[in-house]
Amino acid sequence: MFIRSTAALAAVFLLSAAPLSQAADKPTDPQIAHIAYTAGVLDVEAAKQALKKSKNKEVVDFAKDMVRDHEAVNKQALDLVKKLKVTPEDNPTSKALTKAAAEERAKLAKFKGAAFDKAYVASEVAYHKQVNGALETLLIPSASNAELKSLLETGLKIFQGHEQHAEHVAGMLK
């Protein structure tokens, strides 16, 4: 069941990028800032759910890393938008991400024990693949401001490490 839910989550994330690519060739910096910030907040929420439900040391350690890293990057993002006097702009992609994440957390809430751990980590692998792909192919190339672009590039390096970490934990849970 968790494989279906992860596949559905990945499909929603893939589809959620469609409104941006159809609405404009290039999202604005305020839209990019909101998408990136939203993605981080959503991963923190998922990690906090895992911290409440999981008893597996590897899963708990991974979730703690997600909270720490995403909160740190989001703090940098907030500091940057304040410095630049930019107001992040909600958009169809950030709304779709929020909706999909809420649905995924509701699905994960039904799992317990090892089934939860596997579903959560599989979801994290899919989520990081999608976010990293969006950063590489859409958000970073579309960013106009050099400081925003630099922050996104730094975030991408961190989140690529998250994807590898999630894949490693997933392999341990088989």
The answer, yes or no, to whether residue 174 has pLDDT greater than 50, is yes
Q: What is the pTM of this model?
A: 0.85
- Kindly state the percentage of the chain with pLDDT values over 90: 82
Question: 């930019």: which residue's tokens?
Answer: 86
The string of pLDDT tens digits covering residues 43-75 is 999 999 999 999 999 999 999 999 999 999 999
Domains of the chain by residue range: 2-18+68-172
The string of pLDDT tens digits covering residues 3-53 is 334 333 443 444 444 444 444 468 999 999 999 999 999 999 999 999 999
- The C-alpha angle with vertex 4 and arms to 121 and 70, in degrees rounded to 5, equals 30
End-to-end CA distance of the chain: 15
- Sequence-separated contacts (24+) of 19-24 with Cβ below 8 Å: 19/91, 19/92, 19/93, 19/96, 20/91, 20/92, 20/93, 20/138, 21/138, 23/92
Q: Is the dihedral of CA 138, 123, 6, 3 positive or negative?
A: positive
The string of pLDDT tens digits covering residues 63-122 is 999 999 999 999 999 999 999 888 999 999 899 999 999 999 999 999 999 999 999 999
Residue 143: predicted pLDDT: 95
Average pLDDT for 119-132: 95
Residue 25: predicted pLDDT: 61
The DSSP-derived string for 131-142 is HHHHIIIIIHHH
Residue 71: predicted pLDDT: 96
